[in-house]
C-alpha cells in the first residue's frame, strides 16, 4: 500500500480548507469531538491559518497520504490536562481518517504504528487516548495495537439521541 506520512510544519490555506471540511463533516463530527447535546453536534466551526499555526506550538501533527492523496491526520501532545492517568511524560494522541476512501484499508493501523515510532523517538514512554464507546472499529484497532482500557468517563458525548461514555486507553512503549 502506498501510504506515507509528513510532519506538518507550515500549514497552507488548502490544508486548512481540508481540515475545516473534516471538522464539519456530519459523518465525522460524532467520531472526532465530544458533544453534550444535539445543538453542539450540529455546530460548525472554522479554524484560521493563524489558529492552526498556533496549535502547532503544542501539538505535533502528521498528515496521512494514500497514493499521494491526503486522507487524514494524526497528532500528539505531551502531558495535556485532560489525561485520565496523570503520569508525566505521556503523549495524548488523536487520529482522523477524513476521506472515506482512506477508511477500512489498514491505513489507520499503519498510521498509528508510525505515530508511536515518532513518539518513542522523543523518549516518551506512555501513550493515552480516548475513544467513544460506540466507535467499535477504533476500539478494535487500538486493542490490536496493544492498548489497554484504563477507565471510562460516563456521559461524555451525545450521539443518536443519547449520551455515550469515553473509554480511556493506554500503552507503554
Q: Which domain holds residue 58?
A: 3-172
Q: What is the pLDDT of residue 68?
A: 93
Q: Model pTM greater than 0.85?
A: yes
pLDDT in tens, 99-125: 999 998 999 999 999 999 999 999 999
* Residue carrying C-alpha cell 482500557: 149
| CATH number for 17 | 3.40.630.30
Q: What is the pLDDT of residue 45?
A: 86
pLDDT in tens, 132-147: 999 999 999 999 999 9
N-terminal to C-terminal alpha carbon distance within the chain: 26
Centre a 10 Å sphere on the Cβ of residue 53 and count the other Cβ atoms it contains: 13
Strand ranges for the chain from DSSP E: 3-7, 60-66, 69-78, 90-97, 126-132, 148-159, 162-172
| Cα 87 to the center of its chain, rounded Å | 20
How many separate domains does the chain show?
A: 1
**C-alpha–C-alpha distance, residues 67 and 48, integer Å:** 28
Coil, helix or strand at residue 36: coil
Amino acid at each position: 500500500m502506498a501510504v506515507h506520512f509528513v510532519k506538518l510544519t507550515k500549514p497552507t490555506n488548502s490544508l486548512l480548507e481540508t481540515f475545516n471540511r473534516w471538522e464539519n463533516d456530519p459523518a465525522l463530527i460524532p467520531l472526532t469531538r465530544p458533544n453534550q447535546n444535539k445543538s453542539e453536534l450540529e455546530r460548525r466551526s472554522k479554524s484560521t491559518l493563524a489558529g492552526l499555526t498556533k496549535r502547532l506550538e503544542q501539538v505535533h501533527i502528521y498528515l496521512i497520504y494514500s497514493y499521494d492523496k491526503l486522507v487524514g491526520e494524526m497528532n500528539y501532545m505531551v502531558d495535556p490536562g485532560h489525561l485520565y492517568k496523570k503520569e508525566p511524560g505521556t503523549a495524548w494522541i488523536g487520529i482522523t481518517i477524513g476521506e472515506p476512501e482512506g477508511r477500512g484499508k489498514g491505513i489507520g493501523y499503519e498510521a498509528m504504528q508510525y505515530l508511536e515510532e515518532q513518539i518513542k523517538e522523543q523518549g516518551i514512554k506512555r501513550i493515552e487516548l480516548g475513544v467513544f464507546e460506540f466507535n467499535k472499529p477504533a476500539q478494535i484497532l487500538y486493542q490490536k495495537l496493544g492498548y489497554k482500557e484504563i477507565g471510562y468517563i460516563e456521559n461524555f458525548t451525545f450521539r443518536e439521541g443519547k449520551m455515550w461514555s469515553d473509554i480511556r486507553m493506554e500503552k507503554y512503549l
